[in-house]
């Protein structure tokens, strides 16, 4: 992180926690370079800087998830001068990505995703209109902005348009649709603990959300059929396996575009 940006972000944090210490970047920084950690009188906190609409959307999603028992950070939206940022308690544990790098057994990884599926079922039962009608509440807009930031505007527009055109199901929910190993926190014993990065949470169809999850599962070298089977054990809801595979393959193709 550039020194000027760091100093500005640190000042924003100190405006909320004047006694904060050890203000630092994560050991592994995200591509957006917009996160700081700090020790405060109320514990270690995470501060994620973004646009006003994104911060407010994430805080709303955080509240909706928390009252339904879906483990995610409890976000407080903050503002300092022209900066907007999320403020939440740092979750103990490590990312699933980190656990895999440290040698987590494949069966443990699969067990984590089976636990994630239980949260997915809770998400599909959330009434979508609960968030209101702001543009960033909808998956195609969130995905478009994400890919614009990560790759370029053309890729972002492609993804936004594609998702809008195919998102024609009547089975909508409030889903986190980027449950990669970097966005899943596990406990010291390797069990699922929480999801993070609510920028990727929005209203979208169940098929799209499940396909995004399946694509991440497939990237780890696992068979989508296993995930599909465990989902069917948890619920009687119907999913089109062929459609899931096609959407998952599209997600993987987009990831290869630079």
| Tens-place pLDDT, residues 111-153 | 999 999 999 999 999 988 887 777 778 888 888 887 887 788 8
Specify the pLDDT at position 169: 66
Specify the pLDDT at position 87: 98
Q: How far is CA 39 from the centre of its chain?
A: 24
Query: How far is Cα 251 from Cα 238, in angstroms, rounded to an integer?
Result: 21
Specify the pLDDT at position 254: 54
| Per-chain mean pLDDT for the chain | 89
The domain segmentation of the chain, as residue ranges, is 3-89, 94-255
Neighbouring-strand partners of residue 36: 47
Query: How far is Cα 133 from Cα 138, in angstroms, rounded to an integer?
Result: 8
Q: What angle do CA 25, 56, 75 make, to 5 degrees?
A: 55
Query: How far is Cα 64 from Cα 225, in angstroms, rounded to an integer?
Result: 30
Three-state SS annotation for 137-164: HEHHHHHHHHHHHHCCHHHHHHHHHHHH
Q: Per-residue pLDDT tens for 103-121?
A: 999 999 999 999 999 999 9
Q: Per-residue pLDDT tens for 223-250?
A: 999 999 999 999 887 788 888 888 777 6
Query: How far is Cα 113 from Cα 231, in angstroms, rounded to an integer?
Result: 10
The per-residue b/e assignment along 106-138, b for 16 or more CB within 10 angstroms, e otherwise, is eeebbbbbbbbbebbeebbebebeebeeeebbb
What's the mean pLDDT in 39-59?
A: 96
Tell me the three state secondary structure of residue 200: helix
CATH classification for the domain delimited by 94-255, as one of 3.40.50.2000, 3.40.50.11540, 3.90.1200.10, 3.90.1150.10: 3.90.1200.10
Specify the pLDDT at position 168: 65
Superfamily of domain 3-89: Phosphorylase Kinase; domain 1 (3.30.200.20)
Tell me the three state secondary structure of residue 168: coil
Q: Per-residue pLDDT tens for 24-37?
A: 998 765 556 899 99
What's the mean pLDDT in 16-26?
A: 96
Q: Which of 213, 214, 177 is nearest to 198 (CA)?
A: 177
Q: Which residues contact 181 (CB under 8 A, 6 or more apart)?
A: 95, 96, 97, 99, 100, 109, 216, 220
Specify the pLDDT at position 258: 44
Specify the pLDDT at position 255: 56
Q: Name residue, tokens 């991440």.
A: 216
Q: Per-residue pLDDT tens for 171-216?
A: 889 999 889 999 999 999 999 999 999 998 999 888 889 998 999 9
């Amino acid at each position: 992180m550039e020194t000027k940006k760091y100093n500005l972000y640190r000042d924003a944090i100190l405006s909320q926690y004047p006694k904060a210490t050890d203000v630092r970047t994560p050991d592994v920084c995200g591509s957006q370079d917009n996160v700081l950690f700090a020790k405060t009188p109320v514990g270690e906190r995470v501060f994620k800087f973004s646009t006003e609409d994104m911060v407010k959307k994430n805080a709303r999603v955080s509240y909706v998830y928390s009252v339904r028992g879906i483990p995610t950070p409890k976000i407080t939206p903050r503002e300092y001068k022209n900066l907007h940022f999320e403020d939440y308690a740092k979750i103990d544990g490590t990312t699933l990505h980190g656990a895999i790098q440290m040698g987590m057994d494949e069966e443990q990884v699969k067990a984590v995703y089976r636990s994630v599926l239980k949260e997915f079922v809770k998400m599909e039962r959330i009434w979508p209109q609960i968030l209101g009608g702001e543009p960033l509440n909808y998956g195609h807009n969130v995905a478009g902005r994400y890919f614009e930031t990560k790759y370029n505007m053309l890729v972002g527009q492609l993804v936004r348009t594609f998702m809008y055109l195919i998102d024609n199901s009547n089975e909508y929910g409030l889903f986190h649709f980027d449950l990669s190993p970097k966005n899943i926190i596990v406990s010291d014993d390797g069990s699922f603990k929480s999801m993070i990065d609510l920028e990727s949470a929005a209203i979208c169809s169940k098929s799209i959300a499940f396909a995004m999850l399946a694509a991440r599962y497939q990237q780890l070298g696992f068979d989508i059929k296993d995930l599909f089977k465990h989902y069917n054990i948890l619920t009687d809801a119907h999913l089109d396996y062929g459609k899931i595979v096609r959407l998952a393959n599209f997600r993987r193709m987009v990831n290869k575009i630079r």
